[in-house]
Chain A
Amino acid sequence: MSMGAELAGHVEGVRFTVNGQQVEAISDPATRLTAVLREEFALKGTKVGCDAGDCGACTVLIDGAPVCACMTAVAQVEGRSVTTVEGLADNGTMSRLQRSFLDHGAAQCGICTPGMLMAATALLDSVPEPDELQVQDALGGVLCRCTGYRRIIDAVMDAGTRIESRGKGVGAAIPRLDGVPKVMGTDRFGDDVAAADTLLVRVIRSPFHRAGFTLGDLKGFVAETPGLVAAITAEDIPGRNLFGVIPPFADQPVFATGGETRFKGEAVAALVGDREVLLDLDLAAVPVSWSERDPSMTTETAKTTAPMHDSRSGNVLVEGFVARGDIDGALAGAAHVVSDHFATAFVEHAYIEPEAGTAFIRDDGRIEIQACTQAPHMDREAVAAIMGVAEDQIVITPTAVGGGFGSKIDVSIQPILALATRITGKPCRICYTRPESMRSTTKRHPARMQVSIGADAEGKLTGLRFDGDFDTGAYASWGPTVANRVPVHASGPYSTPAYRARAVALHTNGPVSGAFRGFGVPQAAIAQETLFDRLADACGIDRLEFRLRNTLRDGQPTVTGQSFRTGVGIHACLSALQEPWAQARAAAAQWNGDNPDSPVRRGVGLGTCWYGCGNTSLPNPSTIKAGLMADGRVRLHQGAVDIGQGSNTVITQIFAEALGVPTSAVDLFIGNSDVTPDAGKTSASRQTFVSGKAAMLAGLALREALLRQGNVSDAAEISLDHGKVVLRDGGAERQVDPAVMAADADGFVLRVAETYDPPTAALDGNGQGEPYALYGYGAQMVELEVDRELGTVKLRHITAAHDVGRAINPQLVQGQIEGGIAQGIGMALMEDYQPGRTENLHDYLIPTIGDVPEIESIIIEVPDAEGPYGAKGLGEHVLIPTAPAILNAIRDATGAVVTTTPATPDRILTAIRAAQA
């Protein structure tokens, strides 16, 4: 270290107050205040999302003013007063703002919540009754990726008003059951669980898209550097240096081998050591030599370069295909045909919590990993193979997850943590930096799509042809799923007599593309939905009416030849928009007519979606275990990971309803991979449907077991009362006393475990079959204005009608709709991940609180025969219609046809001028 010797004498700490308490920090005075609060004082409520002032999760108050603690040297708070989220509650009682966040559903994953609360507290201190603009100005510096901000705005504006009881059981808009720790700042996320003095792990990564590399004497480097404990390379991996979410396609090494890295950010080694020493280390000084090689960065070059993976000629990972009817004849014979080429960008998940966790050797000698994840059992399987041990030798304990959206299904930190703790024998922790998270984890696939759609003179669809190349990056991840899902969905929820869709996932030296809310379907919907508007215009039919004429109905075959007897809800969704559509169109026309000289034009656009819930034609089971404990409480082992979407609440509501008790009678238990059974991954909009169905079956089974104990009829009422189970059946009352019953290893005196696997059937060579047991549906309408001189867009209002079958919890449904729309807005207008260029949250833009307009959610309930209480999935559906609806509204306002996303101001302006020419 080259620090000034003249400074070395200072030993006095920095004195300041935290939440009213006098403290003295002994950390180096240049240390970020975030690190001092979190590491020295164990105040983990202040979150770190970027260390760069871009996300605001670390907002604290210094002498009452909000600042980012990540950019404040601890020395700068000498003598000042710091307030953190831990200081908001009064003796454990939530402040009214915290209460309001909980009541309004303003916290989903909860990672941004402390920052939001602190910024809002400062506002309310000076403006007790702020208007919406004041709230936006005050909270504009805190990013949220889950909520879409609207509930947060409401929570701040209504901070004084309590929302009282909202019903019970299925259908009740109760606040999320895991919400209190989120608003109190006490929830424990991936980087919040490490004990003090846990060793840190940092990863050495390729600085080039493609490079040759040689590892130098890393062990020697460790020996020479005080504070470093170990270097880990591929040679240290006891099992298989390979992972992948779909086992037959597993192709990604934990650490690259063969002297070549395939994408910028690929790991080659890791260092383990004292936290402060490692954070102070310039990783460029680590002895690894690199030689940059020519990369293949597009799906076009992928087709002509040597295969990156031996068995995949032409760099084709997977080609998905669905065909039905005579597409050439259908298009040739159509009265109107529209065609175009579309291109989308890499989209980054941009959860505010970077990948983080801790691993240690348990007393029983096994490795336990506590980390943020969407798929604990898949993590266990992957880590066990890498460590060369049986699966039961690895324990995965999910922490709270600060957003996932698909990327935290894949392993990232888990194998590296397992190796580090096994090699050092000590607890190890890791937390990716924001750039590292963005570089090394998965993205949404960029798509290049050529699409043609035909209609007859009456505006009935005759056929649709889709050809798409999807950039799957260097490794497989969920590329096969995207390639298979897209052809199944590219028709949209419309009756399409002739159809031919091909989607190819191609390897490039780009970042690994994987799962991201919608698995390729949002990209395909941009093409289909924007062409629908042009086709409707060509037919001379109103754009909503055109869609209504062509919607799938009960009993009609989808493009895979599957037909549903009930539950096809798209017609109901579009019908719900008819009146808003007519009004919005008239209002826009009126405004445009009244303001002919304004550079601003208003427009209205539609988008729709369908989305199959669960794996595509593959087994997809969930198991839910529950039982009666000796103390008379009911415990629900809830393995469907809640990444903010609400499965902890929804699964509990379903289970409680089936059991016949209030949700408050059920203790939610997350546990770990030892004791909580596999409820599958949190993806594919499957948890409410698949795990929910398993929870319903478990609830019914436990109910039956209890009733049998009391020998009462099915009509009996169950209540839990001071350690006893009381069964009331007509006039009869029976008691079950669990205290006298034998408890098993889990503490259950009565236990049930139920598994549900949705019925699907394989697709044949033409993609015909039954890929999903159910689909969910939706339609959205966007009202916006476009500045014709600058190409900028201001969203004015969004109306979203989504068919969820049955809204288990309407507040969570609303939260999903608003959050999905916010991500759709980002995809449409601003998000463009360019490896090497936008690896932070100021060059990679996601919507802020000022970019999401008022959203009216219309919940449609067309019950599904298969889903629990009729429920369908929702998580991914909500994002799909937004981007095409925005593009359609831009065209409606200006005539501009934008076929490349994001539709940035310069792309829109170029399209406006092309339309004017």
Chain B
Amino acid sequence: MPQMRLTRPKELTETLDLLATRQWHVLAGGTDLYPAHVERPFRHPLLDISGISGLRGIEPADTGWRIGATTTWTEIVRADLPPAFDALKAAAREVGSIQIQNAATVAGNLCNASPAADGVPPLLILDTTVELASAARGTRQVPLCDFIQGNRQTDLKPDEMMVALHVPSESATGRSSFVKLGSRRYLVISIAMVAARLADGEAAVAVGSCSVVARRMAGLEQALAGRDPAEPWEKCVSPEHFADLTPIDDVRASAGYRRDAARTCTIRALEEIAS
């Protein structure tokens, strides 16, 4: 029988110690890790963090909201959260299927760093920071927009793991919405997606699947902040605001279509909030 390939620590400190000793595949929901190993074996043993107490759940903190790393999408859907999180909840319902939402974790979605990760745009519009921990250096906070650095690339060091997400109080305000565009109803990787939040004249908009890393639309946000309320959304949301996106041509859609659809989805997301 092969050697044991999985360990399942109960405590964070133990986990961080183990992380420092060697290379691991960190396992939580398993919904990215196992599919990546359909035809090839695991190169490293698995460090299963899904049993660690305290890594799971959503709670209000003095400075905002703390979302534990292994919180599942189903738990996000069921959590009692202010309307600013509506986009995140809507995205949670679009992550794969109910089976996947029951297992997949928020941190896994971020650490997997897919350009089409459903969770990223709604967390970007909440100005989320991620909390990373290591045995050697303790914890550090990194803005989500800096954490994901490329397709499947993050700022996570080999001995580090994500322990929580933090949404600052000042960003957990207003209302938000999420629009995902795909070629079928369920179990779909998006062609483009948009999360938007409006609060006190401020706007936050993030677009996913249209660049290597989902991104906030700074120019558009400025234009929306100064918008005359009587002005129709499609006038304010101009194609130029999407010029910086770097979508690709792939089997799901052409680059030109994605850029175009990003704008349409943005207008719809804003209309939904305003309605």
Contacts and interface: CB of A to CB of B under 8 A. Distances in A.
B20 interface: no
Interface string B96-129: 1111101100000000000000000000000000
B97 A140 contact: yes
Contacts of A67: 99, 102-103
Contact of A29 (B6, B29, B30, B98): B6
Interface in A385-425: none
Contacts of A840: 35, 38
A214 interface: no
A119 B251 contact: no
A436 B39 CA distance: 9
Contact of A905 (B31, B102, B191): B191
B187 A848 contact: yes
A744 B184 CA distance: 56
A7 B97 contact: no
A834 B251 contact: yes
Contact size range, A:
35 or more
A563 interface: no
A30 B102 contact: no
Nearest to B256: A906
Contacts of B30: 71-73, 76
Interface in B253-270: 253-254, 256-257, 260-261, 264-265
Nearest to B253: A906
Nearest to A60: B99
A602 B38 CA distance: 42
A906 B7 CA distance: 46
A458 to B, nearest CB: 42
Contacts, number: 195
A29 B8 contact: yes
A141 B186 contact: yes
B45 A76 contact: no
A6 B3 CA distance: 10
Nearest to B72: A65
Among A119, A136, A141, A433, which residue has the most Cβ atoms of chain B within 10 A?
A: A141
Contact size range, B:
35 or more
Nearest to B34: A71
A790 B183 contact: no
B137 interface: no
Main secondary structure of the interface of A (DSSP, over half): loop
Contacts of B8: 29, 75-76, 78
A177 interface: no
A806 interface: no
Interface string B30-48: 1101110011111111101
B50 interface: yes
Interface in A44-67: 50-54, 56, 59, 62, 65-67
A870 interface: no
B176 interface: no
B188 interface: yes
B97 to A, nearest CB: 2
Interface stretch (A159-167, A273-281, A566-574, A587-595): A273-281
Contact of A850 (B96, B98, B185): B185
Contact of B41 (A50, A76, A281): A281
B1 A850 contact: no
B56 to A, nearest CB: 13
A30 B183 contact: no
A137 B96 CA distance: 11
A268 B217 CA distance: 51
B4 A8 contact: yes
B90 interface: no
A802 interface: no
B6 A66 contact: no
A2 B42 CA distance: 10
B257 A906 contact: yes
A250 interface: no
Contacts of B98: 66, 119, 122, 137-138, 140-141
A140 B185 contact: yes
Contact of B264 (A5, A72, A789, A847): A789
A66 B99 contact: yes
A140 B183 CA distance: 14
B260 A433 contact: no
A141 B45 contact: no
B99 A30 contact: no
A296 B62 CA distance: 64
A722 interface: no
B189 interface: yes
A851 B103 CA distance: 24
A556 interface: no
A32 interface: yes
Contacts of B157: none
B187 A75 contact: no
Contact of A71 (B35, B250, B251): B35
Nearest to A123: B98
A28 interface: yes
Interface in A224-273: none
A276 B264 contact: no
B55 to A, nearest CB: 14
A70 B98 CA distance: 15
B2 interface: yes
A699 to B, nearest CB: 44
Nearest to A68: B99
Contacts of B252: 904
A838 B183 CA distance: 14
B184 A848 contact: yes
Nearest to A9: B4
A186 interface: no
A4 interface: yes
A587 to B, nearest CB: 23
A68 B100 contact: yes
B41 A282 contact: yes
Contacts of B45: 3-4, 7, 30
Contacts of B248: none
Nearest to B24: A4
Contacts of B44: 2
A838 B251 contact: yes
B5 interface: yes
B76 interface: no
Contacts of A28: 1-2, 4-6
Contact of B31 (A71, A140, A276, A843): A71
Interface string A755-793: 000000000000000000000000000000000011110
A548 interface: no
B254 A906 contact: yes
Nearest to B100: A53
B74 A140 contact: no
A277 B33 CA distance: 20
B22 interface: yes
A745 interface: no
Among A30, A52, A904, which residue has the most Cβ atoms of chain B within 10 A?
A: A30
A369 B127 CA distance: 60
Contacts of A280: 2, 41
Interface string B60-99: 0000000000000010000000000000000000001111
Q: Shortest 5 CB-CB distances between A and B: which pairs?
A: A141-B97, A850-B185, A140-B186, A906-B257, A52-B35
10 contacts: A1-B2, A2-B43, A29-B6, A66-B98, A66-B102, A70-B34, A71-B34, A140-B187, A845-B183, A905-B253
Interface of B: 1-8, 21-22, 27, 29-31, 33-35, 38-46, 48, 50-51, 74, 96-100, 102-103, 181, 183-189, 191, 250-254, 256-257, 260-261, 264-265
Given A53-B99, A848-B186, A904-B183, 16 more contacts: A4-B3, A7-B3, A7-B6, A28-B1, A66-B102, A71-B31, A71-B34, A71-B100, A76-B50, A140-B185, A141-B96, A141-B186, A282-B40, A283-B40, A905-B181, A906-B253
Interface of A: 1-8, 10, 28-30, 32, 50-54, 56, 59, 62, 65-68, 70-73, 75-76, 78, 119, 122, 136-138, 140-143, 276-277, 279-284, 433-436, 789-792, 829-830, 832, 834, 837-838, 840, 842-843, 845, 847-851, 904-906, 909-910
